[in-house]
Structure 1
């Protein structure tokens, strides 16, 4: 039923749970898992050498976080004998990057974790999962804590 499953990750325990669930599902369906990490762009102000050094330090740390998150998904897939591909992108709006990647990669399912925030906390903090659910053109499976 599913051929390619997108698993966005922020490197959290919730994302790990979603990766395990997606890898199990992929094994059952003979599907491939595409891991995704979205980097927020550096808030570059363009003044002086400090900005360039700050950009380099920020991007190095962001790429290291992406590598850790994608390696976690890779390990979940390898443990189950599931094909894995990883991608890191830079976007201002995380959910848009997830949806763009799902479309570009031809994914037919998105599996992601959610913090399950409610009420005012959800309104103030927003929810990437909620926005993906609202705007996705493919099914979205939310793995709760």
Structure 2
């Protein structure tokens, strides 16, 4: 039924559960999975070399965390013999990055966790899952942790 499933991940346990769900669905329908990790931009202050060093350290750490999170999605897909492609992008708003990726990749379903690592911050600002549900033009499956 669904041929290209987007799995946004933040490396959380519920994100891993969403990846396993998406891999199972893709396996049953002959589909594929696209994983995405959205990095928040570096809070640039624009003063001297310290900013460049801080930026490099931030990006290095963010890319390492993103790689680990995407590896988890890739492993779930590998276990089900499902084709996988993953990417890390940088956006101010995570939910917009997810929806942009879904559109750019031609995905026909988004499978994501109900909550990630943001905890109380998500309660105050509104969750990424809620924003995706509100603005998506394709079906969204929320996996509860």
**Which residue of structure 1 aligns with residue 4 of structure 2?**
4
The yes-or-no answer on 1:21 pairing with 2:21 is yes
> What CA deviation, in whole Å up to 9, does each residue of 1:112-139 have, x standing for no partner?
00139xxx98651410000000000000
Indicate the SS of the match to 1:2. Answer: coil
> What CA deviation, in whole Å up to 9, does each residue of 1:22-44 have, x standing for no partner?
00011011110000000000001
CA root-mean-square deviation: 1.5
The yes-or-no answer on 1:95 pairing with 2:88 is no
Deviation at 1:4, TM superposition (A): 0.1
TM-score by length of 1: 0.94
**Which residue of structure 2 aligns with residue 58 of structure 1?**
58
User: Which runs of no fewer than 5 residues in structure 2 stay unpaired?
Assistant: none
**Which residue of structure 2 aligns with residue 143 of structure 1?**
143
Moved over 4 A (4+): 120-123
Alignment CA distance shift 1:56-1:14 (3 Å): same
Alignment CA distance shift 1:55-1:114 (3 Å): same
- Residues 122, 128 of structure 2: 8 Å contact kept: no
The number of residues matched between the two structures is 142
**Separation in 1, partners of 2:41, 2:110:** 23
**Which residue of structure 2 aligns with residue 80 of structure 1?**
80
